[in-house]
Amino acid sequence: MIFVAGPFMWLAMSSFPTRLLEGYQSFMSGRYTAERNRYRDLAEAGQEPHTLVIACCDSRAAPETVFDCGPGELFVVRNVANLVPPYAPDGNFHSTSAALEFAVQSLKIRQIVVLGHGRCGGIKAALDVDAAPLSPGDFIGQWMGLLKPAAQQIKDSVLLTSGERQFALEHISIRNSIANLRTFPCVKILEDRGKMALHGAWFDISTGELWVMNSQTGDFSRPETSLA
């Protein structure tokens, strides 16, 4: 690990982003002041989040914002397109699997939500028939390869509009992540015992609507319409 100072311009860029420092000041004078004791307690007692959320990196779909959750509530994994890879104890490092294991085994979280969203760039990339790799490493191509069979099937659904194909794969991807969660023995066993609940949800950035997955059919609908 080496820190090499770059040329002048780099130095100019090296101070911490002003926008973030201002935001932090706002946090300190606002939320933190209001919830000071809660933060202290959370630090002392440790976190006991009620839900693991697997969400997308997208800047418009932060789970704490969509669910208006405060500190200590959500343990959050965020990767491109909210994917969960299948269980693969192969000795490689697996970011999402590690977080899942930590959430379930160490934090004893018993409620998992896979949160997808509309206009997902990862899903769009998976459906792009002419996509060239973004870089020689093609990391996005490899990562979205987790959805490859589904993406191929949807690409072939030429009677759907491009918007409908995107919508469909966003929903399929959530179901796929949930199915992959069940390949992890710790999840499967707990669910079979009635001690673990897996949920899917999809956030429409444009309208602000939250669509919730019916656990039995896999269909998505808005809770205000489906729950009445």
Which of positions 72-101 make contact with a copy of itself (CB under 8 A)? Answer: 72-80, 83, 85, 87, 89, 91-101
Q: How far is the CB of 174 from a copy of itself (least distance, A)?
A: 10
CA distances (Å), 153 to each of 11, 139, 157, in order?
49, 22, 7
- Judge whether 117 is annotated as a binding position: yes
- Residue 146 binds a copy of itself, judged by CB under 8 A: yes
Residue 55: beta bridge partners? Answer: 78, 115
Contact 118, 204 (CB under 8 A): yes
56 is in an annotated binding site: yes
183 contacts a copy of itself (rule: CB under 8 A) = no
- Cβ 110 vs Cβ 196: under 8 Å: yes
Asked whether residue 186 is marked as a ligand-binding residue, the answer is no
130-156 core/surface letters (b: 16 or more CB in 10 A; e: else): eeeeeeeeeebbebbebbeebbeebee
Is 30 near a copy of itself (CB under 8 A)? Answer: yes
Q: Which of 108, 127, 176, 202 binds a copy of itself (CB under 8 A)?
A: 176
Q: Which residues are annotated as a binding site for Zn(2+)?
A: 56, 58, 117, 120
Q: Which residues are annotated as a binding site?
A: 56, 58, 117, 120
